[in-house]
Each structure stands twice: as C-alpha cells, then as structure tokens.
Structure 1
Amino acid sequence: MTRVCFQLQVAPELLDEYIARHTPVWPEMLAEIAAAGRRNYSLFLGEGGRLIGYYETDDDAAAQAYLAASPVAARWEAEMSRFFVGLDGRPDQAATPLTEIFHLDDQLAAAAARAPHEESTPS
C-alpha cells in the first residue's frame, strides 16, 4: 500500500464555493475515485486556502491513469481547475506531492523488529 499526500492552493476568494462543491461531491465522482483504487481519501483546508489531500492506494500510477481516462473525472476536474492558484493542468494530475518523513505504524514495526528478543530461562 502507498500513502499519498499532496498540496494545492485554493484561491482565497473562492474558498466558500470550493467547500460547497465538496459537500457533497458528485456520487459518480465518488464512485470513480473508489474504482480507481483510492481509499481513505481526505482533504484538509488550511488558512489562506492551503489544501492538503491524503489517500491510500495499492498502485498510484494505475489510479492516476484510471482517473485520467475517466470522462466523469475529466468533467469534475474541468470544473474544479478554476479554484486553484498556480496549477498547470488538471488538479488530480498536477498536484504537488509531499514527501512522507514519518509514519507511526512503520516506525513501531521497525522498532519491534530491532528490539532484542527476550529469552526465557529455565527455572
């Protein structure tokens, strides 16, 4: 599984409309996101229109390709593109990916693997 986090900038003057467009998202677009193999998908909006997105997928390249070929996603992204500042291309294809530097479960698993195994001593 791959965890993907990305950043976009929503034009501050369009924030209210952007939020309204996501409450709710078109049912057919939700279905396409799921069919592409993206799950646990969230968007977080910060001060000034800073948008952070996160999702998990087994094959991000395949998910990207699926959505790039989807007429539903093309319609959605065409309508959404006007909300973003400094973006060249479709938002779902041109968002700036962020580099993951920490994940709790991964580090706990690595720490457990490094921990010395306690040996039981016979009484």
Structure 2
Amino acid sequence: MTAETSERVCFQLQVKPERIPEYTERHRAIWPDMAAALKATGWNNYSLFLREDGLLIGYFETPSLAAAQTGMAATEVNARWQAEMGEFFVALDGAPDTGFLRLSEVFHLEDQLA
C-alpha cells in the first residue's frame, strides 16, 4: 500500500472523564483477535491519542474507509469490542468505530512537496 492509494482518516470522540483510566488500560494490550481483524480489514498505521480531559483523536490509513468499516462490521470480535467500548464515550451516535466525528485534513507535507 502506498500513500497514493491510502485514505488518511482522522477522527475524534469524547471519553467520559471518569472512564479515562480504564479506557487507557484496555488499550495497553487489545485482544489479539481484534488487532488481527483491524489489520486484515485495512486499518493501517492506526493510533489513538487521548487528552487528559477525554478528547480522543484517532488516526489511521486505509485503502477505503467504507470497506474498512464494512469489513470490521462483519467480524464477531468487533461486535464484542464495540459493545464493551461504547459505554466509555460521551454522546456517541452508534458504535465507536462508525459514530466518530471525522476531521477534515487541511495540510499534508508530502502533498506539498510533490
């Protein structure tokens, strides 16, 4: 996969402040089958960043956001993970992996250097 064939996705969610320690702990070592499913369905270079007030920023690269979400929706492990993780978020509309607010990219260095 090259940068030309990758969609860069950045999103935000809000973790309930009182749940931040548990949320952080659960992500220290996610379930191995969840990690494998993410990779297999195109969630590449995936990172989460958490501010101390609960603002969560996620970033990943994928050939297609729609295909990555559809692929994960078809896995049993994702259904279990989303059911457990949904309770950690404020004002979530749907599951965390589909209910996030996608952020618009306004700058990418490699694009400007090309």
* TM-score normalised according to structure 2 size: 0.93
Equivalent residue, structure 1, for 2:96: 91
Percent identity between matched residues is 59
Equivalent residue, structure 2, for 1:2: 7
Gaps of 5+ in 1: 110-123
2:28 is paired with a residue whose SS is coil
In structure 1, what is the Cα distance between the partners aligned to 2:19 and 2:79?
Answer: 21
Gaps of 5+ in 2: 1-5
RMSD: 0.6
In structure 2, what is the Cα distance between the partners aligned to 1:86 and 1:59?
Answer: 26
- Once the two structures are superposed, residues 72-92 of structure 1 have per-residue CA deviations (whole angstroms, 9 ceiling, x without a partner) of 001001000000000011000
Look up the equivalent residue of 2:108 and give its one-letter code. H
Asked which structure has the greater CA Rg, the reply is 1
1:69 correspondence with 2:74: yes
In structure 1, what is the Cα distance between the partners aligned to 2:79 and 2:31?
Answer: 13
Aligned length, in residue pairs: 109
Runs of 4+ off more than 2 Å: none
